[in-house]
Amino acid sequence: MLDLGASINLMPFSIYKQLELNERKPTTMSLLLADGSVRYPRGIMEDVLVQVDKLIIPVDFVVLDMDDVSGETNMRPILLGRPFMATAKTFIDVQNGKLTMTVLDETIEFKLFEASSYPVGADDCSFIGILDPGVDDPPPKLELKELPTTLKYVYLGENETYPIIIASELKNEEEKRLIEVLQKHKSAIGWSLEDIRGISPTVCMHKIFLEDEAKPTKEAQRQLNPIMKEVVKKEVLKLLEVGIIYPTSDSKWVSPIHVVPKKLGITMVRNEQNELVPQRLQTGWRVCIDYRKLNTATRKDHFPLPFIDQMLERLAGHSHYCFLDGYSGYNQIVIAPENQEKTTFTCPFGTFAFRQMPFGLCNAPGTFQRCMMSIFSDMVEEIIDVFMDDFSVFGDSFDLCLKNLTLVLQRCDENNLVLNWEKCHFMV
């Protein structure tokens, strides 16, 4: 699709994956779309060859997650903007209704009046498509942990894919109705970090306001052993792939990283003297960014968090509950572009800044709670209670709880809020 109003050429990420093109170059670019939303590209592809009739033109594309223009899987448009038209030496003769493109000594011509004199329908339009239909992304491979007898796995996809966790004592009819609701709002549930879509900046955006006397600090990276270094490498690659972070080199603020063990509960083990002593279980490693100096220089946000005891009082006494959890909740909120460089961290693989809100910022809890209260303002204490990224939907019967759950999932869909399948328990 040609667009004189576009200053770049855009390729949907879905087409990029289907064409299996080379690795993308990272970019710090942000795009303001026609609907007012701010989007962050997945990268830039250079010198992609595009054939228009007998012309072959090298084009640089910005790769972006885009909603399909139509429901047809083979009609995802590639947008060709002014850079393409400049390369193709495009000339538009409005008076005579002609569009010509010239590359080297070859020229092609389109007769615009003839093209627009026929009804425009799906069968009449020319579009850039894939010769062979692309294969849908395979469902993520997930490790299913053992559940207590009160819970069980059911699946929203074929061949036991896209699992969710529900109460094991539901009647067959109740289970069927619950699965239908969850399948209808499947986009509100995430099974991998790639499923995060990002809450619109028009709804919520994290800003970092500094104290008047604050001075930027640049800290050196910390030394890591080979095991920790590999953990950091995997984390950086994962966040780069989904566009949560991007490389940067000129930030005035640089924070170091730490790698700390993930702890899960305490067990009793015998020491060398055959005595039982408590020992914490380690399940892996966690990458943390030390934002202490940035936090010291940041003006504090005093947005209140709810009291847990009051929430528990409101939740008590209902017959059915759905406990929901945001998927990597903080990472779903955009950081104001002018503040992103303040989140820069250093590691053995370079310096990177966050597009989405990371863990460790002092005002992140207040921003997230404010965002959730904004999204669910008319529902809080009526059908749902919200504490950070933990949501509790309740009802005095299965039917009422299912109705409330439907409303909450619909609201999540409307605001691109994605829930974590593994931490959501339905109708318990």
**Does residue 120 form part of some domain?**
no
Residues 79, 41 contacting (CB under 8 angstroms)? no
Bigger pLDDT: 270 vs 55: 55
Judge if 207 and 106 occupy the same domain.
no
- Distance CA(293)–CA(361), nearest Å, equals 10
Task: Tell which of 115, 142, 158 closes a domain.
Answer: 115
pLDDT (average), residues 318-331 = 94
Judge if 416 and 318 occupy the same domain.
yes
**Does residue 142 form part of some domain?**
no
DSSP structure string for 257-286: EEEEEEEEEEEEEE-TTS-EEEEEEEEEEE
**pLDDT digits over 345-370, tens only?**
999 999 999 999 999 999 999 999 99
Task: Tell which of 115, 145, 166 closes a domain.
Answer: 115
Judge if 348 and 217 occupy the same domain.
yes
Judge if 100 and 200 occupy the same domain.
no
Q: What is the DSSP letter of 139?
A: P
The candidate with the shortest Cα–Cα distance to 340, out of 24, 44, 29, is 29
Judge if 272 and 379 occupy the same domain.
yes
Q: Specify the amino acid at residue 208.
A: I
pLDDT (average), residues 147-163 = 94
Residues 156, 107 contacting (CB under 8 angstroms)? no
Task: Tell which of 115, 145, 178 closes a domain.
Answer: 115
Judge if 250 and 369 occupy the same domain.
yes
pLDDT (average), residues 172-194 = 95
Residues 238, 193 contacting (CB under 8 angstroms)? yes
User: Measured between alpha carbons, how far is residue 140 from residues 136, 196, 242, 283, 375 in Å?
Assistant: 12, 14, 15, 21, 29
**Does residue 329 form part of some domain?**
yes
**Does residue 179 form part of some domain?**
no
**pLDDT digits over 10-34, tens only?**
898 888 888 877 778 877 777 777 6
**Does residue 138 form part of some domain?**
no
Judge if 262 and 376 occupy the same domain.
yes
Judge if 110 and 200 occupy the same domain.
no
Q: Specify the amino acid at residue 73.
A: T
Judged by DSSP in three states, 9 sits in coil
CB neighbourhood size of 41 (10 A): 23
* pLDDT on residue 367: 95
pLDDT (average), residues 304-318 = 88
Q: Specify the amino acid at residue 39.
A: R
Judge if 205 and 102 occupy the same domain.
no
Residues 332, 326 contacting (CB under 8 angstroms)? yes
Judge if 406 and 293 occupy the same domain.
yes
Can you give the CATH number for the domain in which 333 is found?
A: 3.10.10.10
Question: What percentage of the chain carries pLDDT values higher than 70?
Answer: 88
Chain-centre distance of CA 397, in angstroms? 34
Q: What residues make up the domain containing 107? A: 10-115
**Does residue 152 form part of some domain?**
no
- Distance CA(274)–CA(201), nearest Å, equals 58
pTM assigned to the model: 0.69
* pLDDT on residue 266: 67
Judge if 341 and 203 occupy the same domain.
yes
- Average pLDDT over the chain, rounded to an integer: 85
Judge if 257 and 345 occupy the same domain.
yes
**Does residue 125 form part of some domain?**
no
Q: Give residues with Cβ within 8 angstroms of 337, minimum separation 6.
A: 30, 38
Can you give the CATH number for the domain in which 77 is found?
A: 2.40.70.10
Question: What percentage of the chain carries pLDDT values higher than 90?
Answer: 49
- Domains: count for the chain: 2
The pLDDT-based confidence of 69 (bands split at 50, 70, 90) is very low
**Does residue 141 form part of some domain?**
no
